[in-house]
Amino acid sequence: MNTPVYDFLIQYAERDPVRLHMPGHKGRFGAPALQRATTLDLTEITGADSLFEAEGILAESERNAASLYGTAYTFYSCGGSTLCIQTMLLLMKQQGRAVLAARNVHRAFLNACVLLDLPVQWIYPRESDGILSGTYDLADFEAALQQQTRPACVYVTSPDYLGRMADIAGLAELCHRYHAKLLVDNAHGAHLAFLPWRCHPIQLGADYCCDSAHKMLSGLTGTAYLHVRSDIDVEPERVRDAMAMFGSTSPSYLMLASLDWCNRELASPLFRKQLEEVLDRIQQLKCRFSPRYCFVDGDPMHLTIDAAAGGFHGLELAAYLEQHEVFVEYADAFHVVLLCSAANTDRDFDILEQLLERFSPTPAESGEKYALPRPEKVCGIREAALAPQEIVPIGESSGRICAAVKVPCPPAVPIVLSGERIDARCIAVCEAYGITEISVVQ
C-alpha cells in the first residue's frame, strides 16, 4: 500500500528547500534526538493538502485506511479519540437525536456533552467489576429507546478499560430496529479489524466508531481514526466540518505521516503474522498461569489480571514488575492491565513470564469493588460544569453538587457526574481510587 503523506515529507526534506513558512524551527532547531523528526515537520504548503478540506495526499491516505477497515469513510484525527467523540456527538446534535449512553464513559464524552449542551440518559450495568467495567443488558437499552419521542443514538465503550467487550452486534440490531444510530468508543480496539475473527465495531454494525491508532497500533500518541459505516447516508464534508469545529488548525504532519505509514503496516502480511504470534504467546501465558492468576475475558490484547480474585493487591504486582523494568498500562487494588500489541516480542513475553513465575504476593483483601454510584441529579451537566465553583476536600463534599469532573487519566471514567449531588457512596468510591479533592458548585 502506498504512503502519499510520508513520501511527500521525505521528498520535501531531501530537496533541502529554503523554508520561508512555518514551523519556526525550519527543520534545523530542536533537541538533538528530534532533529530527524523536525526535517519532516511541515505545515500546509503547496502539495501537502489540508486535513479538514482534504482533496490530495491526505484524502488519498484516508481512502487507504477506509479500504483496510471496510468503511465508507475514515477520517484522521490529531486530537485523539477525544476529537472523534466530539465530532460524533456534534453530528448527533445536528440531527436532533437524544443521547443514551452506557455509564462507563471516558471523561472526553462528558466534556463534549458540556460543550454541546447535550443531556444524556444513562444506562447502568446490571453487574459491575469496579467503576471501569460492567455487564450491560440489551433490554435496558431497548426500554430506553422505547421511551424516546424523537430519534436517538446509543453510545457505548467497547473494549472498556479492562478489555471487556460489549455485544455490539446485538446493540446494532437493536438500534437499527428503532432507527437509532450506534456510536462506539473503540479507542482501545483499532486492532480488532485484523484479528482472525470479525469483532471490530464497524464489522459488527456500528454506525460511527472512533479508534485510537496510538493505543494499539503504531500511530504516534494522539492519532486516531473516525470511522463511518458503509451504508450511512452522510456527506463527508459534513463530518470534516464537524471535526474542524473542535480540531486544531495546525494538525501535526508527523502524526499524519505516522497514520499514513500505519496503513502500509496493516496491509502487510508481516503485520498479520506478528499479530498472530503475539496472540499465541498471550494464550500460552494464560494457559501456563491459570488458575494461579485470574485473567479477565475480552479482547485478547488486553492482558488484564484480576488481582482481587487472586487474593492479592494489584498495586503490589504492578510495583514488582516496575522494579524489574516492566511497566503496565494501569493498576489499582483490583486489577492490573497489561496492553499488548503486534510490536511486542518474544523477549517481552519471556521476561514477563519469568516475573509472574517469581512473584510471591502478600495475601491481601483488596476491599470492595465499588460499582459506579447513582447519586441524585440536581441540574444539567453543562449548567454545573460552567457554574462558579470551588475545590474542596472529598471528605467535606457531602451534599454538594459536583461541578467539573475530577478523575485521573487513566482510567478517566467519571465516578460522579457534573450536576449530581455528592453522597457518602460517591465519597467512598472517590477515596478508594485515591481522589482527595473535588470541584463543586459554589
**Domain co-membership, 224 together with 184:** yes
What the block records as the C-alpha cell of 431 is 477515596
For 186-207, the DSSP string reads: -TT-GGGGGSSS--STTTTT-S
> What is the tally of structural domains in the chain?
3
Q: Checking DSSP bridges between strand 437-441 and strand 389-393, what pairing results, if any?
A: antiparallel
Domain boundary among 244, 267, 290: 267
Tell whether 125 is covered by a domain: no
pLDDT of residue 364: 82
Domain boundary among 309, 326, 358: 358
Calculate the dihedral angle through the C-alpha atoms of 168, 246, 239, 132, rounding to the nearest 10 degrees. 0
pLDDT of residue 304: 98
Cα 168 to the center of its chain, rounded Å:
16
Please state whether 220 falls in left (phi above 0), alpha (psi between -120 and 50) or beta.
beta
Q: Percentage of residues in the chain with pLDDT exceeding 70?
A: 99
Look up cell 503485520; give the residue: 271
Q: What is the CATH number of the domain that holds 328?
A: 3.90.1150.150
| pLDDT for 406 beyond 90 | no
Tell whether 374 is covered by a domain: no
Q: Percentage of residues in the chain with pLDDT exceeding 90?
A: 90
Calculate the dihedral angle through the C-alpha atoms of 75, 81, 87, 89, rounding to the nearest 10 degrees. 140
> Hey, CA dihedral for 32, 36, 37, 40, is it positive or negative?
positive
| Per-residue pLDDT reduced to its tens digit, 206-221 | 999 999 999 999 999 9
pLDDT of residue 128: 87
Q: What are the angstrom distances between the C-alpha of 256 and each of 238, 250, 338?
A: 21, 11, 27
**Domain co-membership, 65 together with 163:** yes
Tell whether 138 is covered by a domain: no
pLDDT of residue 407: 76
**Domain co-membership, 332 together with 432:** no
pLDDT of residue 351: 99
pLDDT of residue 369: 82
| Per-residue pLDDT reduced to its tens digit, 295-319 | 999 999 999 999 999 999 999 999 9
- How many CA atoms lie within 13 Å of 178's alpha carbon, on the beta-carbon side? 26
pLDDT of residue 172: 98
**Strand extents, DSSP E, 139-266:** 152-157, 181-185, 208-212, 224-228
Distance separating alpha carbons of residues 117 and 412, to the nearest angstrom:
21
Those residues whose C-beta lies under 8 Å from the C-beta of residue 352, and which sit 6 or more positions away, are 285, 321, 326, 338
Instruction: State the average pLDDT over residues 148-152.
Output: 97
Tell whether 82 is covered by a domain: yes
Instruction: State the average pLDDT over residues 140-148.
Output: 98
**Domain co-membership, 154 together with 249:** yes
| Per-residue pLDDT reduced to its tens digit, 355-402 | 999 999 998 876 778 889 999 999 999 999 999 999 999 999 999 999
Domain that includes residue 83, residue range: 4-97+150-267
| Per-residue pLDDT reduced to its tens digit, 186-207 | 999 999 999 999 899 999 999 9
Q: What's this model's pTM, rounded to 2 decimal places?
A: 0.96
**Domain co-membership, 212 together with 279:** no
SS3 per residue for 12-77: HHHHCCCCCCCCCCCCCCCCHHHHHHHHCCCCCCCCCCCHHHCCCHHHHHHHHHHHHHCCCEEEEE
pLDDT of residue 366: 63
Distance separating alpha carbons of residues 329 and 78, to the nearest angstrom:
22
Residue 397 has phi, psi (to 5 degrees) of -100, 0
**Domain co-membership, 31 together with 19:** yes
Those residues whose C-beta lies under 8 Å from the C-beta of residue 394, and which sit 6 or more positions away, are 427, 430, 431, 435, 436, 437, 438
pLDDT of residue 262: 99
Instruction: State the average pLDDT over residues 431-441.
Output: 92
Those residues whose C-beta lies under 8 Å from the C-beta of residue 75, and which sit 6 or more positions away, are 62, 84, 87, 225, 226, 228, 236, 239, 240, 243
**Domain co-membership, 435 together with 298:** no
Q: What is the mean pLDDT of the chain?
A: 96
Tell whether 372 is covered by a domain: no
Tell whether 134 is covered by a domain: no
| Per-residue pLDDT reduced to its tens digit, 19-31 | 999 999 999 998 9
Length in residues, the chain: 442
Contact predicate 314/306, CB 8 Å: no
Domain boundary among 219, 250, 267: 267
pLDDT of residue 121: 98
Q: What is the CATH number of the domain that holds 425?
A: 3.90.105.10
Calculate the dihedral angle through the C-alpha atoms of 36, 38, 44, 47, rounding to the nearest 10 degrees. -20
**Domain co-membership, 185 together with 303:** no
Instruction: State the average pLDDT over residues 314-325.
Output: 98
Q: What is the CATH number of the domain that holds 214?
A: 3.40.640.10
- How many CA atoms lie within 13 Å of 134's alpha carbon, on the beta-carbon side? 23
**Domain co-membership, 178 together with 313:** no
**Domain co-membership, 282 together with 256:** no
**Domain co-membership, 43 together with 69:** yes
Tell whether 116 is covered by a domain: no
Instruction: State the average pLDDT over residues 137-162.
Output: 98
Closest Cα to residue 110, out of 93, 125, 134, 89? 89
Tell whether 120 is covered by a domain: no
What the block records as the C-alpha cell of 387 is 457554574
**Domain co-membership, 93 together with 170:** yes
